[in-house]
Structure 1
Amino acid sequence: MKKIIFSVLFLGVIIVLLMQTELGQMLRSGNIQEVAANIQSYGWVAFFIAIAAVVIQTFFPVIPFVLLAGANVLAFGLWVGFGVSWFAAVMAALANFALARYAARDWAEKKMGHHSFVKNLNRHAETKGFIIILLARWIPVLPSSAINTAAGISKIPFKWFLLATLLGKIPAVFFESVLGHYMINWEAHKGKLVLIGIGLVVFMLGINYVKKKKKSTLLS
């Protein structure tokens, strides 16, 4: 009963922040320039506002994280913006993991328990759990919330999830911070966006090739 109450209260706070605050209204509007300007206007408190925005986005993705990371770059500059987004993304992932493992496990298992990623993670949680989560963080098509929830209902030790998330989020968030900044200022970065798009396609084709080759090796 306590777990259910905690889950409801936690999500209730997130909903209130999204629906009843100025920042929440701007997140729902999708106006990234306005979000960045609003974050800047709070002075040193802006860091906490930016972190709250990422946590809200994790549970209610009204705008893509990549654009929110871009807004943080606009508000703080590249390196500080990346650092804020990385820290916030790690905190949000830990909150998501904790909810799935300790507070809403039954619901999470019904939602994700049948997925092949969860089954594979469970089979290798204690021996390869760290590398599975680390690599999953680098695959653009895998939603972070799905990875967090899957890890929460798996047998992976918390310390390996934490370490894989801390390390795995570094290149992923940096890439999304730069990409988000380019997307917000797309007119000045059209050529770079095209190159990034081509790179992502090649990357995904490479992953697909490796998967097929691995399957053929196992079957032979």
Structure 2
Amino acid sequence: MKKIIFSVLFLVVCLALIMQTDFGQLLRTGNIEEVAARIQSYGWIAIFIAMAAVVIQTFFPIVPFVLLAGANVMVFGLWGGFVTNWIAAVLAALANFALARYAARDWAEKKMGHHAFVQKLNRQAETKGFFIILFARWIPVLPSSAVNTASGISKLPFKSFLFATILGKIPAVFFESVLGNYMINWENHKGTLVLLIIGLALFMVGLNYLKKKKKSTLLS
């Protein structure tokens, strides 16, 4: 019961921050350059505000993560922004996992329990769970929140989820941090932005090829 109450309070606080604060109202406008300027104006607590924004975005995605990540790069530079985004993304994933496993399990199971990803994760949670989550983090079109929720309602050990998320988030968050920064300043980075999109498309094609090849090998 205490976990449920804590979870509800957590979500209520997140919603209140979005609806009742000046920064939350600014986030809702989607003006990323203004968001970056506001974060920078907070001085030494800016990094905590930036992380909080990423965590809240996980549960109330009023702004795409890629743009928020780009805003943090504008404020803290490439490496500082990446580290900020990465730590916040890991913390958000852990919060999402905890909510699904301990507070809203019945709701989450009704929503996602029938999905093939969850069923596969349950079958191989103890033997291959770490690698399933690790690779899932590398697939850009697979929503992070879906991976977190599926992990929470599965039999996956928390330790496997934690380390797979810490490692798996590194390339994904770095890519989105760079991409987000270029999207915000797209007029100055048109060529690079096109190359990144082409690279992402080729990566997805390669993953699909490897998946089909593995399936055909198992069937032969």
TM range (shorter): over 0.9
Aligned to 2:152: 152
Distance across 2 between alignment mates of 1:148 and 1:110: 15
Aligned AA (2:154): S
Q: Distance in 2 between matches of 1:189 and 1:126?
A: 44
CA–CA distance in structure 2, aligned partners of residues 88 and 23 of structure 1: 18
Matched-pair contact (CA < 8 Å) for 1:97–1:151: yes
Unpaired runs of at least 5, structure 2: none
C-alpha contact 2:96 2:149 (8 A) present in aligned 1: yes
Q: Offset of 1:23 from its aligned partner?
A: 1.5
Question: 1:3–1:104: 8 Å Cα contact kept in structure 2?
Answer: no
The separation in 2 between residues aligned to 1:174 and 1:217, in whole angstroms, is 33
Matches within 5 A, 1:1-220: 1-220=1-220
Structure 1 position 216, deviation (Å): 2.5
Look up the SS of the partner of 1:77 in the other structure. helix
Asked if structure 1 preserves the Cα contact closer than 8 Å seen for 2:4 and 2:102, the reply is no
Superposed CA RMSD in Å reads: 1.1
Query: Are the aligned partners of 2:67 and 2:184 in contact in 1 as well (CA < 8 Å)?
Result: yes
Describe the superposition over 1:153-174 as per-residue Cα deviations: whole angstroms up to 9, x where unpaired.
1111111111111111111111
> C-alpha separation between the residues in 1 aligned to 2:67 and 2:198?
19
8 A Cα contact 1:129 1:160, kept in partner: yes
Amino acid at match of 2:164: A
Structure 1: distance between partners of 2:198 and 2:18: 35
Quote the Cα distance in structure 2 between the aligned partners of 1:26 and 1:41.
14
* TM-score normalized with structure 1 length: 0.97
SS in 1 for 2:114: coil
Aligned length: 220
> Partners of 1:62 and 1:20 in 2: how far apart?
15
Question: How much has 1:206 moved relative to structure 2?
Answer: 1.4
Provide the rounded CA distance (Å) in 2 between the counterparts of 1:76 and 1:2: 37
One-letter amino acid matched to 1:70: G
Calculate the TM-score normalised by the size of structure 2: 0.97
Structure 1: where are the runs of 5+ without partners? none
Percent identity (aligned): 79
Q: Which moved further from structure 2: 202-211 or 184-193? A: 202-211
Residue pair 1:19, 1:25 contacting (<8 A) in 2 also: yes
The letter for the 1-side match of 2:58 is T
Show CA shifts across 1:145-193 (max 9, x none).
1110011011111111111111111111111111100000000110011
Q: CA deviation at 1:204?
A: 1.1
